[in-house]
Amino acid sequence: MFLSIFDIFKIGIGPSSSHTMGPMTAAARFLDDLRGGRDKEPGAGELAALG
């Protein structure tokens, strides 16, 4: 999985948003991957369903 720096760090409200948004986004993506939420390849589920 490739991440851009812009995927992790977002501009948020407050003076320390860069310190909170990055870890929060990284943790959310990690948990989502553990749960199997995101496809590694867009449309892979649709192609697999075809058989």
Q: Can you give the pLDDT at residue 28?
A: 84
pLDDT tens by residue, 1-51: 677 777 766 666 667 766 777 777 788 888 988 888 655 555 555 555 555
Structure tokens at 14: 């407050």
Q: Can you give the pLDDT at residue 42?
A: 54
- pTM for the structure as a whole: 0.43
Structure tokens at 19: 């310190």
CA dihedral 34, 39, 44, 48 (to 10 degrees): 30
Q: At which residue do the structure tokens 């867009």 appear? A: 42
